[in-house]
Amino acid sequence: MTLAEVQKITNAVVVVGSDKLDLVVTTAFSADLMSDVLAFARPGCLLITGITNAQSVRTAYALDIAAILVCRGKMLQPDAVDIARELHIPVLATPFIMFETCGRLFQQGMVGCIREVLPRQAASPPVGMTFSETFQVQGRNFSAAGTVSNTIKKILRQQGIAEEIVRRVAVVAFEAEVNIICYAHEGSIECRITPTAIILQAIDHGPGIADIQLAMQEGYSTADDTIRSMGFGAGMGLANMKKFSDEFDLSSEVGRGTYVKSVIRFSEECAGQRAAV
């Protein structure tokens, strides 16, 4: 159904994106805990939530959620409205409680972006479980691009980590790997699974980054033609890594190399306790 239909079914007002009411959304996810949204929501869904701060907008952006429907007669906080406008995320607000909102949309054919959470998708590994492995990455070895990140992805899946977490780690690991291949002589990526998070650390020996702020900007790249001809070097790598991380840290020394750390946390409230069972 279109956002215009969602608006009508839920008696909603349009807070942001009145020009986007023809956008089609077929799936929905409802939750108040952003940790649950991060763990289970899928790209393209409608997020139904009672959270009114900027957190909901940022989460929606990070997960490519199509639109936000704020329920319970609440209104997005002004700073969150500004961010939604800036990130082009449509926001509607309904006076209905979440139950009525979900029920009405469900009856009109909207389905959950996930139907259920199967046991293997438990959002975090058993308490106390830790794992660490370091992978070497060779500079300029373009044909190997993706090998390390896919290996990491496979390991995480085998550990039963939630699919959304796996997806985010895979994106960050891939970008880190490609950066080493494109710009450094050699480097390594360490993947550590802790009871609360997955931590990726990439270290390389290479030219380093002179202006980190500039390098973080979307679209900025120092890639040469070889790199670009292979589809890399669009200047999205570092920005993407930051976008998919809960914590992101980058330091660099020109002529020496670069260090990147990304922390992707398991959902805190639900999942932490779920894992204890």
Partner 1 sequence: MRRAEGSSITLREIVQALGCSVVSCAAQLDRTVTGAYVGDLLSDVVARSGPGMLWITCQVHSTIVAVAVLKELAAILIVHGAVPDAETIAKAEAEGVVMLTTTLSAFETAGAVYQLLHQQHTSR
Question: What does the binding site for partner 1 look like in residue numbers (CB under 8 A)?
Answer: 28-33, 36, 40, 48, 50-51, 72, 97-100, 102-107, 109-119, 121-122, 269-271, 273-274, 276-277
- Cα→Cα distances 150→163, 223, 272, Å: 14, 23, 26
What would you measure as the largest C-alpha separation in the chain, in angstroms? 61
Q: Which is nearer to partner 1, 104 or 205 (CB)?
A: 104
C-alpha span between 97 and 50 (Å, rounded): 9
Structural tokens at position 153: 């992805």
Q: Which is nearer to partner 1, 205 or 274 (CB)?
A: 274
For the bound state, the minimum distance from the C-beta of residue 270 to partner 1, rounded and expressed in Å, comes to 5
Nearest-CA neighbor of 113 among 36, 7, 11? 36
For the bound state, the minimum distance from the C-beta of residue 199 to partner 1, rounded and expressed in Å, comes to 25
Q: Kindly compute the dihedral angle of the four CA atoms of residues 56, 126, 197, 153, in this order, to the nearest 10 degrees.
A: -100
Q: Which is nearer to partner 1, 49 or 179 (CB)?
A: 49
C-alpha span between 204 and 258 (Å, rounded): 5
For the bound state, the minimum distance from the C-beta of residue 102 to partner 1, rounded and expressed in Å, comes to 3
Q: Helical H runs in 23-62?
A: 34-40, 54-62
Q: Which is nearer to partner 1, 161 or 270 (CB)?
A: 270
Q: Could you give the angle at the alpha carbon of 214 between the alpha carbons of 208 and 219, nearest 5°?
A: 105
For the bound state, the minimum distance from the C-beta of residue 162 to partner 1, rounded and expressed in Å, comes to 10
Q: Which is nearer to partner 1, 32 or 246 (CB)?
A: 32
For the bound state, the minimum distance from the C-beta of residue 76 to partner 1, rounded and expressed in Å, comes to 15
